[in-house]
Every structure is written in structure tokens, then in C-alpha cells.
């Protein structure tokens, strides 16, 4: 697949803050792409720059091999769904959705047809005469979505689209966004700080930190093969043991833990990553500790075991095997399931 | 049955909560009743009574006060007052809107300084400020002398004692009341509104006209009422800057009570003003609701 949107060496500075530092990402056509990262990582700045609402200090962005940055904001084939939705309160649902088409000076029968179609798609046809203030949060979000996709943009940008919704509506909307993206055949770029959301919704994710792209990968790769300690920590639930490498093991707080085969030199600082589901309770284990707490999550429980490390060790455990709090647990795992990362 | 009892209980609780909240309304309602509604009742009653020889009223029912108010002389004064106040209001909008808009573009601390500067003239007595315009505008005043010295004109201009001078005086006096509500409407507009319009294909000028301006309309209407209401009833500015030649309805009402001693006719004029202003408030409330979609501002 060739790249559709090509972001190359993009930088932006606000005073002392480097919001974007030499960011390069290639996004494919019809991809559902997520920009993920903690607040202040530059993901929203990048999104706004793509929409033309923010200027960039340097770098090149091309869309289908054409320069995007020289196109004025109101002429870009890129539409943004705002975090606050930014629906026009003085216009009803229909006029909100038609606003962008009217700016294109399309004839009224085509506008009417397209607005009707899109309102039908998002299930709001019978609300078309209502004002935004008369809608629920989920309905407002659908209007914002309809208003953006009715323009048939090459790329739809979504800024934290689900953050204002409660959990149940959010998971419904995640499904709906996926369906819409599939049906409309539009490239979606979503900005989110919620790694679970990015993991469940996107084809690929760019994880950003302090204005830089740390890793670009599919959700599965991101989880199973994180490039750095930051990625390992940010994505999913993880146990991170920082220590010094010996030969065939890592020394963490005076204990030697087994490691997978590695390129890292003996004696260097490293971090061993173990996912909770890769650790099991057994009769004899690599490490032993006391069960401090167990949190129930429906199908399974997450155990917190004090093994004398800085942090409690998190272990995923089937419901019928949860030991009583205070009992001694022996934890074991296969070294091949663990991941060793350099510790900067 | 159980459900009915419950809803009754709930109603009782609701009623008690409403009652305890109503307590806070008592001071305000007392004030409005004592100094506004009761006097208005008197005014209304006076309109049907006859004048006393030395002011006051005689309890003889008549409709003559109303028929007299329909005289073209008084209608003319009312129309002139409305036109002068409308001119001041429109000019206040034309000048005040760009000022308010410019202030919203400043950094927040500068915004506050500018707002204080705009309110600053209110700290000086209104009469003195209006008098100052006489000093500025008369044939020997700063403006005429300055223009003559610069060679722009050879004869001093007759600027004072004309409707234009009254409009200028009213505009000067009340323009802060236009700027402040427009400013507060503009700063409340979510900046992403304009960005959304541009993102959907609007030029910056279209975004301003189709989004910013309509959303600022409630503030413009409040400003218009704030300027129009004190302007249309004003009698100090027309007295000083109009030279007593251009009588506005405010002067007329005052003269009926204090000079002509015709309280009933003065009451008719005052009541007609009140009704006109109520109609204005009604229109403003309706437009407001239409712009904002519902009662939520």
C-alpha cells in the first residue's frame, strides 16, 4: 500500500514548548488511524495543523501527492469533528449539516438529497428541525459527525470524539464510527488519550510523547512488541521491572529474573516487561509474594502481589482460582513471553 | 395507590423547596412593587382624571387626555424622539461593535484595562460631561477654533442646538452600554464555532457574518435597548445641546408635570413611553429565543 497522507518532518514550537518535533507519519487510504498520547503530546496540534487551523514551523504534508499546507483552511478536502462538537446553536440540525454544502454552492436539490442521506445514516432524520440545545450528547455528536462526512472529505479528523460521552454510549459510538468509516470509505484520523479506545477502534496507531512519535504500529504489534518503555507502560496493563542485565538474567531489587534472548549488553540498564496474563500462579515460582488485593473485572480478576519490588506485581487470574488476600503466591512465567527493553 | 401517595409527597417537598427559595425574592419584589408598580398604577389612574388648577388632579373622569395625546404636535414630538434615539442607537452599534470585537482580540489582562477605560467616563457627573460638549462645539469652541486655525473653514460652523448635536451627546453618553453587552456576547462564543465554519468551507468573512454576528445578536439587542431606552426619554441632553428648540418627549413630560402643571396629560405621555418600551423588550426576548434555540443562554 502506498501512503495517502504523508506527514514528513513536521515541527511546531509555542514559545518554550516544542509541540511537534520532526514528526513523520504515513497514513494509508481508507485507514482508521489513531493519534494516541498523553495530554500535551502534540496530537491535537498535529490534527489542527492538518485542518489548517494551526500553522507549522517546518515540514511537508502531502495528500495524494499534492501539497496540503499551501491550501487555505476553507478549501482543504479535510473535515474536522471538534471535541466540543461546535454545532451552530442558531441553526437547526438540518441547517447545521447543510452549512458546508451551501458553502460549496451546490444546487439545492443535491444539498437536500445529501443532507437527507447523511441524517438517515446517523439516524437523526426525525430530529432535523431541532436545535442543538434540544439534543442529547450522543445526538449532538452524530450531528457533528454528519456535518463533517456530508462534505465527503478525503480525510475526516476526529478530536477526542467520544470523551464527552458516558461509557455505554461511547462503546456504541465506537462501533458506529467503525461502521461509518467502512461504509463511507473515508480515511479517519482520530485523536485520543484513551489507549483502550485507540486499540479497539483503529487499524494503526501512532503513539506520541512530548511532541515526538514514539511508535507507529497496529494495536496488536503495539501491545505485543512495544519499542520503548514508554510504549510498554502506556499501552495495556503491564509489569515493568527496571534493573541491570547479567548474563541470561536481570537483577531487579536484589532478585535475578530470567530474560528472553537479547541484543543488549550485559551490565547495561534494562526494563523487563511482563503482561499480567503471561504470569501464572504455581506451586513453585520465579518470585514469591503476598496477595495484597484482588480486583474483580467480570470474567477475570487482577491480583496485586507484593514481591518486594518497588511496585506491586499485577497478575491476571481466572475467577475460580483467586487465592484469599494475605496468602502467599508463587508467580511463574515463560521467559519467552517477557519482553526486554533498553532503559534510557 | 402507593405510587399516588409518593407523588403527593414529592409535590409537598417540591412546594416547600419553592417556598424557601421564594424568600430570597421578597426584597426585590418589595422594591419593585413599592417604587415601580404602585407609582405606575397611580400614573395609569391619573390618565383618566382631570388636571387641578395648581397641579395635582381632580377626581373627574375624562378621556380627553388621551384624545389630546393624538394631536399631531405631540405625535410629532414622539416620532422625533424615537428618530433621534434610534440614530444614536444605530451609531452606537456601528462604532461600538468594532470596538467590542477588537477588545476580544486582546490578551485577557489588556481586555480588562480596556473595559475599565470604557466605563471610566461614568465616574464623572453626567451634567458636567454634557456641558463639556457645549465648550467643544459652540461657535467659539475648541473644534471651530481648531478648524479655523488649520484653515479648513473660514466661518465657524453652527454645530450646537441642532438634532445632530443631541444625537452626538446621547451617543457619547451611552455608547459604553452598547459596547459592554456586545463584548460579553462575543467573548462567550466558543472559538471553535468560527473554526468549524472555516473548516466547512466558509471564508473568514462568511464565518463572521454567518456565525459570529448571529451569535452576538443577543448582546447587540441588549446594547440597543440599553442605549435606546435612556436616550428616548432623556431631557438633559436635548435641553443643553438642543438649546430648548428641539423638544423630545422627555422634556415634554417633565414640562407637563413641573411647568404646565398638567399631571394627567403628563401621565398619558409617560404611559405611552412605558408601553413602547415594553413592546421593545418583548421583541428583544423573542429574537433572543430564536437565536439561542431555547431559554438556555
- Residue A73 touches partner B, C-beta closer than 8 Å: yes
Local confidence band at B11 (pLDDT 50, 70, 90 cut-offs): confident
Q: Closest partner residue to B201 among A74, A82, A131, by Cβ?
A: A74
Name every residue whose Cβ is closer than 8 Å to that of residue A319 and which is 6 or more positions away in sequence.
A296, A299, A300, A301
Q: Residue A187 belongs to what H/E stretch?
A: strand A187-192
Work out the minimum CA distance from B113 to partner chain A, whole angstroms. Answer: 25
Contact B199 A53 (CB under 8 A): yes
Q: Note whether A217 and A61 are within 8 A (CB).
A: no
- Residue B245 touches partner A, C-beta closer than 8 Å: no
- Per-residue pLDDT averaged across B139-167, rounded? 84
- Residue A15 touches partner B, C-beta closer than 8 Å: no
Q: Note whether A161 and A201 are within 8 A (CB).
A: no
- Residue A107 touches partner B, C-beta closer than 8 Å: no
Note the pLDDT of residue A22.
93
Residue B222 has pLDDT above 70, yes or no: yes
Query: How would you write the pLDDT of chain A (344 residues) with one tens digit per residue?
Result: 568 999 999 999 998 889 999 999 999 999 999 999 998 899 999 999 999 999 999 999 999 999 999 999 999 999 999 999 999 999 999 999 999 999 999 999 999 999 999 999 888 999 999 999 999 888 999 999 999 999 999 999 999 988 877 888 888 888 888 888 888 889 999 999 999 889 989 999 999 999 999 999 999 999 999 999 999 999 989 999 998 888 888 888 888 888 888 878 888 889 999 999 999 888 787 888 899 988 888 778 899 999 888 889 999 988 778 888 888 889 988 888 899 998 86
Set of chain B residues whose Cβ sits within 8 Å of the Cβ of A73: 198-199
Contact B293 A147 (CB under 8 A): no
Q: Residue B108 belongs to what H/E stretch?
A: helix B108-119
CB pairs under 8 A between A and B: 71
Q: Which of A49, A90, A97, A102 to mutate to probe the B interface, most B CBs <10 Å? A: A90
Tell me how far CA of residue A220 lies from CA of A208, A216, A302, B170, in angstroms. Answer: 17, 11, 21, 71
Nearest chain A residue to B194 by CA distance is: A86
Local confidence band at B295 (pLDDT 50, 70, 90 cut-offs): very low
ipTM: 0.84
Alpha-carbon distance of A197 to A171, in angstroms, equals 9
Contact A88 B203 (CB under 8 A): no
Alpha-carbon distance of B281 to A79, in angstroms, equals 41
Nearest chain B residue to A73 by CA distance is: B199
Alpha-carbon distance of A291 to A305, in angstroms, equals 4
Contact A86 B196 (CB under 8 A): yes
Q: Which residue has the higher pLDDT, B115 or A40?
A: B115
CATH superfamily of this structure's domain A237-342: Nucleic acid-binding proteins (2.40.50.140)
Q: What is the pLDDT of residues B130-149, one digit of tens each?
A: 888 888 888 888 888 888 88
Alpha-carbon distance of B106 to A84, in angstroms, equals 23
Domain regions of chain A by residue span:
3-225, 237-342
Which residues 301-320 on chain A approach chain B with CB closer than 8 angstroms? none
DSSP three-state, residue A227: coil
Work out the minimum CA distance from B211 to partner chain A, whole angstroms. Answer: 7
CATH superfamily of this structure's domain A3-225: P-loop containing nucleotide triphosphate hydrolases (3.40.50.300)
Residue B297 has pLDDT above 50, yes or no: no
Q: What is the pLDDT of residues B41-93, one digit of tens each?
A: 999 999 999 988 887 888 888 888 899 988 888 999 999 999 999 999 999 99
Alpha-carbon distance of A49 to A271, in angstroms, equals 36
Nearest chain A residue to B289 by CA distance is: A90
- Per-residue pLDDT averaged across B27-34, rounded? 93
Domains in chain B, CATH or no CATH each: 72-292 (1.10.3720.10)
pTM score, two decimals? 0.80
Cell of B50: 382631570
Alpha-carbon distance of A286 to A258, in angstroms, equals 8
- Residue A129 touches partner B, C-beta closer than 8 Å: no
* Domain A237-342 in the same topology as domain A3-225: no
Q: Closest partner residue to A73 among B199, B214, B290, by Cβ?
A: B199
Set of chain A residues whose Cβ sits within 8 Å of the Cβ of B200: 74, 79, 99-100, 103, 147, 151
Q: What is the pLDDT of residues B191-208, one digit of tens each?
A: 999 999 999 999 999 999
Q: How confident is the prediction for chain B on average, in pLDDT? A: 88
Note the pLDDT of residue B296.
42
Note the pLDDT of residue B3.
54
Note the pLDDT of residue B17.
81
Note the pLDDT of residue B5.
61
Q: Which of B200, B202, B291 to mutate to probe the A interface, most A CBs <10 Å? A: B200
Q: Note whether A50 and A189 are within 8 A (CB).
A: yes
Amino acid at each position: 500500500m502506498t501512503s495517502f497522507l504523508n506527514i514528513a518532518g513536521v515541527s511546531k514550537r509555542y514559545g518554550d514548548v516544542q509541540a511537534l518535533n520532526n514528526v513523520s507519519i504515513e497514513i494509508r487510504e481508507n485507514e482508521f488511524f489513531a493519534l494516541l498520547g498523553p495530554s500535551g503530546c502534540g496530537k491535537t496540534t498535529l490534527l489542527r495543523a492538518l485542518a489548517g487551523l494551526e500553522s507549522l514551523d517546518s515540514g511537508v504534508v502531502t495528500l495524494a501527492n499534492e501539497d496540503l499546507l499551501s491550501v487555505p483552511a476553507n478549501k482543504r478536502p479535510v473535515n474536522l469533528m471538534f471535541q466540543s462538537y461546535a454545532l451552530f446553536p442558531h441553526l437547526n440540525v438540518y441547517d447545521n449539516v447543510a452549512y458546508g454544502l451551501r458553502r460549496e454552492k451546490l444546487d439545492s436539490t443535491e444539498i437536500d438529497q445529501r443532507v437527507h442521506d447523511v441524517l438517515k445514516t446517523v439516524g437523526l432524520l426525525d430530529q432535523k428541525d431541532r436545535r442543538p440545545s434540544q439534543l442529547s450528547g450522543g445526538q449532538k455528536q452524530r450531528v457533528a459527525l454528519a456535518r463533517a462526512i456530508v462534505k465527503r472529505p478525503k480525510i475526516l479528523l476526529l478530536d477526542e470524539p467520544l470523551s464527552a460521552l458516558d461509557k455505554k454510549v461511547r462503546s456504541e459510538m465506537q462501533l458506529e464510527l467503525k461502521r461509518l468509516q467502512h461504509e463511507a470509505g473515508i480515511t479517519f484520523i482520530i485523536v485520543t488519550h484513551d489507549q483502550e479506545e485507540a486499540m479497539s477502534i483503529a487499524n494503526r496507531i501512532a503513539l506520541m510523547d512530548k511532541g515526538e512519535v514514539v511508535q507507529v504500529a497496529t494495536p496488536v504489534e503495539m501491545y505485543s512488541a512495544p519499542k520503548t518503555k514508554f510504549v510498554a507502560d502506556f499501552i495495556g496493563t503491564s509489569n515493568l521491572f527496571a534493573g541491570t542485565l547479567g548474563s541470561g538474567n536481570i537483577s531487579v531489587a536484589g532478585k535475578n529474573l530470567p530474560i528472553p534472548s537479547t541484543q543488549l549488553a550485559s551490565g547495561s540498564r534494562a526494563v523487563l516487561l511482563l503482561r499480567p496474563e503471561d504470569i501464572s500462579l504455581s506451586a513453585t515460582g520465579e518470585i514469591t509474594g503476598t496477595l495484597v488485593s484482588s480486583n474483580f473485572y467480570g470474567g477475570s480478576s487482577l491480583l496485586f502481589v507484593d514481591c518486594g519490588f518497588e511496585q506491586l506485581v499485577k497478575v491476571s487470574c481466572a475467577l475460580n482460582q483467586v487465592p484469599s488476600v494475605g496468602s502467599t503466591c508463587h508467580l511463574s512465567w515463560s521467559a519467552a513471553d517477557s519482553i526486554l527493553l533498553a532503559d534510557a | 395507590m402507593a405510587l399516588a401517595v409518593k407523588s403527593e409527597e414529592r409535590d409537598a417537598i417540591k412546594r416547600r423547596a419553592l417556598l424557601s427559595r421564594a424568600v430570597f425574592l421578597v426584597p426585590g419584589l418589595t422594591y419593585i412593587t413599592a417604587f415601580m408598580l404602585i407609582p405606575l398604577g397611580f400614573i395609569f389612574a391619573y390618565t383618566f382624571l382631570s388636571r387641578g388648577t395648581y397641579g395635582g388632579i381632580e377626581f373627574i373622569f375624562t378621556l380627553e387626555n388621551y384624545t389630546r395625546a393624538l394631536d399631531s404636535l405631540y405625535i410629532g414630538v414622539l416620532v422625533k424622539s424615537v428618530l433621534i434615539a434610534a440614530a444614536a442607537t444605530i451609531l452606537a452599534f456601528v462604532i461600538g461593535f468594532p470596538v467590542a470585537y477588537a477588545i476580544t482580540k486582546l490578551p485577557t489582562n489588556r481586555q480588562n484595562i480596556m473595559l475599565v477605560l470604557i466605563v471610566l467616563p461614568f465616574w464623572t457627573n453626567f451634567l458636567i460631561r454634557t456641558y463639556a460638549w457645549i465648550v467643544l462645539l459652540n461657535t467659539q469652541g475648541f473644534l471651530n477654533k481648531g478648524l479655523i486655525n488649520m484653515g479648513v473653514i473660514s466661518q465657524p460652523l453652527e454645530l450646537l442646538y441642532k438634532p445632530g448635536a443631541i444625537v452626538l451627546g446621547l451617543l457619547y453618553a451611552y455608547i459604553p452600554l452598547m459596547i459592554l453587552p456586545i463584548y460579553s456576547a462575543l467573548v462567550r462564543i466558543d472559538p471553535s464555532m468560527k473554526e468549524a465554519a472555516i473548516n466547512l468551507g466558509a471564508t473568514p468573512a462568511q464565518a463572521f457574518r454567518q456565525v459570529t454576528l448571529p451569535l452576538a445578536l443577543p448582546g447587540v439587542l441588549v446594547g440597543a435597548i440599553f442605549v435606546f431606552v435612556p436616550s428616548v426619554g432623556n431631557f438633559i441632553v436635548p435641553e443643553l445641546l438642543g438649546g430648548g428648540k428641539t423638544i423630545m418627549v422627555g422634556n415634554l413630560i417633565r414640562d407637563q408635570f413641573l411647568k404646565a402643571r398638567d399631571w394627567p396629560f403628563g401621565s398619558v405621555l409617560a404611559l405611552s413611553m412605558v408601553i413602547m418600551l415594553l413592546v421593545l423588550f418583548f421583541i428583544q426576548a423573542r429574537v433572543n429565543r430564536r437565536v439561542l434555540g431555547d431559554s438556555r443562554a
